[in-house]
Amino acid sequence: MIIGKVSGAMHSTINHTFYDERKTLVVDKLNPDGSLTGDYLIAIDTVGAGAGETVLVIDEGNSARQIVKEDNAPIRSIIIGIIDEVYVKI
């Protein structure tokens, strides 16, 4: 799993029906110190994450399908938590 920051959202009209009503967010990947890695993911939100929030993201299809409870969903990346704090060098 990785740490990310919600930096935006995307919108599509023509898409697989699974995405019709989904909140589809742009998530920038972060290093543990909060700096940007330069990489990103498009992820489905299931925890009510908003812009600027630091989130826990999992990038694995089977995990994502379990969460949305659709065995046939074409999905791989999903937000599974809003991170309150990252303690580095505990």
Q: How far is the CB of 21 from a second copy (least distance, A)?
A: 13
Q: How far is the CB of 1 from a second copy (least distance, A)?
A: 4
Nearest to 7 by CA among 31, 28, 23: 28
Q: Is 58 in the site for a second copy (CB under 8 A)?
A: yes
Per-position x/- string for 2-41, each x denoting binding to a second copy as judged by CB under 8 A, each - no binding: xx---xxxxxxxxxx-xx----x-x-x--xx-------xx
| In contact, 52 and 24? CB cutoff 8 Å | no
CA distances from 35 to 28, 30, 47, 56, 75 (A): 10, 6, 23, 15, 27
Q: Is 43 in the site for a second copy (CB under 8 A)?
A: yes
Which residues lie below 8 Å from residue 34, measured CB to CB, with a gap of 6+? 54, 86
| In contact, 37 and 61? CB cutoff 8 Å | no
Count of residues in contact with a second copy, rule CB under 8 A? 57
Residues that bind a second copy (CB under 8 A): 1-3, 7-16, 18-19, 24, 26, 28, 31-32, 40-43, 46-48, 51, 56, 58-67, 72-78, 80-90
